[in-house]
A and B are shown apart, each in its own frame.
Chain A
Amino acid sequence: MHRLVLAATLTVLLLLTPPPVHASELIVCPDCSLRQIQEAIATAPAGATIRVRGGVYVGRVVIDRPLTLYGENWPVIDGGGQGTVIHVAAPRVHIEGFIVRGSGTSHDREDTGILVTAPGAQIVGNQVLDSLFGIQLLNAPGALVQANRIVGKPLPEPQRGDGIKLWYSPGTHIVDNRVEDSRDVIVWYSDHTLFRNNVVERGRYGLHFMYSQESVIEGNVLRDNSVGIYLMYGARQTVRRNVFFHNRGPSGYGLALKETDGVLAEGNLFLRNRVGIYIDNSPISEGVTNRITGNWIAYNDVGLLISPATRSNLIIGNTLLENLEQAAPQGGGTLDRIAWAEAGRGNFWSDYVGYDADRNGIGDLPYQNRALSSVLTDRSPLLAFFRFSLAASALDLAARAVPLFQPAPRFTDPAPLVHSTPWPDLPWNLSPPSRIHALLSLALLTAAALPLLLILRRPPRFVLAQATTAPRAPAPVVLASTTPSVATAACTVTDAAVVEVRGLTKYFGDRLVLDHVSFIVRPGEALALWGPNGAGKTTILRCLLGRTAYTGTVTVFGHSPLEDGPAVRAQIGYVPQQLPLLDLTTGELLTTVARLRGEPLERAWERLGVFGLQQTWYQPVRTLSGGMQQRLALALATIGDPPLLLLDEPTANLDVTAREELLSTLRELRESGRTIIFASHRSDDIWHLATRVLRLEAGRIVAESGAAALPIRYNVHQSLILELDVDTLQPATHLLTAHGFAVYREDQRLRVIVPPQRKAEPFYLLARLGIQVRDFWLEATDGW
């Protein structure tokens, strides 16, 4: 009986006891019962998880309780161009896996992609696009901002907002993010910030600390910003193992310190900035020292630029390599108040001319910076115009020869190192740019470039013949050449055919990559080899160049590329998919190719101007943008005015603007009469350039047509053609691109590639910005 009573009591207790509270999980998707994120938030208990599946959701979203939001399959939260898109107003919110886009443009309201105003937020693995401010933490301490990609709103730089902004948010960790094309990443009044392993590029100030202390900045890459890192009015910051590369905008500093106390800058690389490190009145407090050690400061215009009143900086154990000016006082004066050595060890100066008789690694003479020309430039900055001129060199030589004229040294390193310091442990896998490495890499790169150079090479006999005749007329095309040279005489073409291919077959091992391909190309045609990757397009080009064996018959200008390759290649300009990444400058590469092809340098220089690249003469090819590299490849291919151009995926890896420019240049070449054969898998290339199209699939020609009558595939995307006012074309292009559309400009129109479900979206987006669509129509396009 007792047992029965006990069992009944327990049963009743169990029934009356509420079930344990578990954080519930809600699903949001376009076809679910919960279709909007805000609706789910309103019903979710604190601590719940909301899973949002792929689709486009309407912002603004306000999160007013501790929640976790996971995006699955990249759901988009679109702010519709108004205000802030997501506002995190509760503590301990986790947001992960979303595309957040379309904030407003008000600087007064600081419209933001993700705004956090509560502590302990975690913003992880999101893409914040087309937002004035990317991620903003206002009074939100202890946050984690990790692995996000933030792309600024497509506005002129001064009108952009900050990629990441902290405001009174101490203890925040910003790690593994990528920030592109924003204004600054800025940290206001936020101590103990960790900024690690981020990439910030094409902004104003890559990272800007204001009134913040005790922070660590390490392992980041800051490149192509106006200034890499600017530390202002702060204290006790550590800047370690960062790469500062090519920060050359206004100011153009790698690292700048202004009235900042107790900075430790160690093991960083400062490469090709206008100024490597700029120190202005730092430290400002008494009894405090900044320590700058173990850095590589190389190939900058000025390695160290220091305001003359600056003191209490310990600059030791650094490598200053081939900066145009190794260290200079700003506006004249001396740098006597800087400590250049500690415990008998100074810095490595690549222009040191002393010796080390006792082999202890320390130069026996001090390093003194006392060039007369630099002192004069300090006094009259306009004299910088004559820097590196013969006159300036003569002046410095005279001052060294006649000590009477020698100025007092601007500073002295009493214990210069005779060997460079250890290469820092950097986030980039780079080797130190020592002279041996430079020679080695030059040799390797020359070897890498050899195929390109060989392709562009004229046969030596032709060069000699060319040298003895009158200069070549600048007319771009010589189809029926009358130049009395061996090569051109042999390769004279008639209107019959430039290229003739019959039964071209090619195997790689057992794999058939070209299967009895036949076609003819006549003068002035622009033939597209069109097909998906792996269809055999590039292999055909390689066969035409004689760079790979094949069976079948191929003649180019009547000659077989395999049997008479040099004579054939002399008539061909070849544009590879990507230039070999050379350490050569544009000028060096152009000069080399011009000499090989027997073109006068003046003509090559003019050609560079035609392609808008003269300003890159001294710039290493590897630092050019993708579009510029392709234009350079085209400029190199046209040296010597070859009548046939072969192009391999000429617009691959280019953004919209660069692609438009390149296609426009190619159209001009076609209209000037050149014969062009190009491989492409992009249907828009075909529209812009081709006069005839060969469609390839699996190594076979499956169709041939004029470009205007392209065959259409099923499940196609469509082209939406928009006619807009001229002054709205540019902003409309940026806007639609930022929302993921492929946009191509065609005179006064835009061609927008629209997937089947997004045909109306461009109208909505344009209307939101007040851009009027004057007319429109749809065209079918290929889905490749």
Chain B
Amino acid sequence: MRRRQLLLTFLVTLPLAACQRKRELSPPQIRYGRDTCAECGMILSDSRFAAAAATANGETYLFDDIGCLLIYRQKHQPAWAAHWVHDLDTQSWLPAESAWYLVSTNVRSPMGYGIAAFANQNAAQQRQTELGGDLLPWEQLLARPPQRPRHH
């Protein structure tokens, strides 16, 4: 009897444990020159400005410009689980929430939104001195919807 109870308990808890196991989200591997932006359809070539977002159910979207990521977030509102951007200097991934953003017309990003991300605030301030523009954390960047560089 005891053995049966143990077996039953094991069989019931195993799937539950599996369901509750949190999926680790990690930045995607981009195939530069082949993958395209989910928002504008452009081929991703410049790792300095490439960005990505993942939904809670694990779907990942790639963007060639941080501005495209922001526009896509405005248009589509699933349960976003993670966002990543690249550090302009090191070109390594970093969580979007922890980055500093320089928004400047002198930053020439692939779609012209002029947004560059930095892991380090000092590095960002140094570039701000050089290029001008505003330095923002992630929350303020989200609160300030990106503008199309030029309307016709």
A residues sitting closer than 8 Å to B (CB atoms) are: 107, 110, 156-159, 167, 183, 188-189, 204-205, 210-211, 213, 226-227, 230, 232-235, 249-251, 256, 258, 261, 280, 285
Residues of B within 8 A of A258 (CB): 40-41
> A89 vs B108: C-alpha distance in the bound complex, in angstroms?
20
Contact B45 A204 (CB under 8 A): yes
CB neighbours of A189 from chain B (8 A): 149-150
Residue B43 at the A interface, CB < 8 A?
Answer: yes
B128 shortest CB reach to chain A, Å:
15
Q: Which of A167, A205, A210, A251 contacts B36 (CB 8 A)?
A: A251
Per a CB cutoff under 8 Å, which of B36, B108, B150 touches A211? B150
Instruction: Return chain B residues, CB-CB under 8 Å to A107.
Output: 46, 48
In the complex, B152 has a CB within 8 A of chain A? yes
User: Are B150 and A158 neighbours in the complex by a CB distance under 8 Å?
Assistant: no
Cβ contacts B13-43/A at 8 Å (1 or 0 each): 0000000000000000000111110001111
> What B residues does A232 contact at CB under 8 A?
40
A contact residues around B149 at 8 Å (CB): 189, 211
Check A250–B33 contact: CB distance below 8 A. Answer: yes
Among B34, B36, B148, the most chain A Cβ lie within 10 Å of the Cβ of B34
A233-B150, A249-B43 known, 17 other contacts, Cβ within 8 Å: A107-B46, A110-B108, A157-B33, A158-B32, A158-B44, A158-B45, A158-B46, A188-B112, A204-B33, A234-B152, A250-B33, A250-B35, A250-B36, A258-B41, A261-B152, A280-B41, A285-B152
A159 to B138, CA, bound (A): 28
Contacts of A188 in B (CB 8 A): 112
Q: How many A-B residue pairs have CB under 8 A?
A: 54
Q: Which 9 pairs of residues, A with B, have the shortest CB-CB distance?
A: A158-B32, A158-B45, A235-B152, A211-B150, A158-B33, A157-B33, A250-B34, A250-B43, A213-B152
With both chains docked as a complex, state the minimum distance between the C-beta of B150 and any C-beta of chain A, in angstroms. 4
* Cβ contacts B67-84/A at 8 Å (1 or 0 each): 000000000000000000
Bound Cα distance from A258 to B152, whole angstroms: 13
Classify chain B's interface size.
20 to 34
* Complex interface residues of chain B between 38 and 62 (CB less than 8 A to chain A): 40-48
In whole angstroms, what is the CA distance A189 to B149 when docked?
9
Give the chain B neighbours of A183 by CB distance below 8 A.
45
Contacts of A251 in B (CB 8 A): 36, 41, 43
Nearest opposing residue in chain A for B110, CB measure: A210
**Chain A: minimal CB distance from B34 (Å):** 5
Task: Tell me the residues in window 99-126 of chain B with beta carbons closer than 8 Å to chain A beta carbons.
Answer: 108, 111-112
A250 contacts which chain B residues (CB < 8 A)?
33-36, 43
Q: Looking at the complex, which one of B33, B41, B108, B148 makes contact with A156 (CB distance below 8 Å)?
A: B33
Shortest CB–CB separation between residue A234 and chain B, in angstroms? Answer: 6
Q: CA separation between A158 and B45, bound complex, in Å?
A: 4
- 27 inter-chain pairs at a CB distance below 8 angstroms, sorted by A residue, are A110-B108, A157-B33, A158-B32, A158-B33, A158-B44, A158-B46, A159-B45, A167-B108, A188-B112, A204-B43, A204-B45, A210-B111, A210-B112, A211-B112, A211-B152, A227-B43, A233-B152, A234-B152, A235-B152, A250-B35, A250-B36, A250-B43, A251-B36, A251-B41, A251-B43, A261-B152, A285-B152
Q: Measured between alpha carbons, how far is A559 from B148 in the docked complex, in Å?
A: 78
Please name the residue on chain A nearest to B111 by beta carbon: A210
Q: Which residues of A contact B45 (CB under 8 A)?
A: 157-159, 183, 204
Contacts of A256 in B (CB 8 A): 41
A residues within 8 A CB of B33?
A: 156-158, 204, 250
Q: Are A226 and B43 in contact (CB under 8 A)?
A: yes
A251 to B47, CA, bound (A): 19
Query: Which interface residue of A158, A210, A235, A285 has the most chain B CB atoms within 10 A?
Result: A158
**Closest chain A residue to B47 by CB distance?**
A158
Residues of A within 8 A of B44 (CB): 158
Q: List chain A residues, Cβ under 8 A from B148.
A: 211, 233
Residues of A within 8 A of B46 (CB): 107, 158
Residues of B within 8 A of A213 (CB): 152
Q: How far is it, in angstroms, between the C-alpha of A204 and the C-alpha of B43 when the chains are bound?
A: 8
Closest chain-B Cβ to A549's Cβ sits at a distance in Å of 56
Please measure, in the bound complex, the distance between the C-alpha atom of A392 and the C-alpha atom of B112, giving whole angstroms.
Answer: 44
Contacts of A204 in B (CB 8 A): 33, 43, 45
- Distance (Å) between the CB of B58 and the closest chain A CB? 19
The residues of A that contact B34 with a CB separation of less than 8 Å are: 250
Q: Which residues of B contact A234 (CB under 8 A)?
A: 152
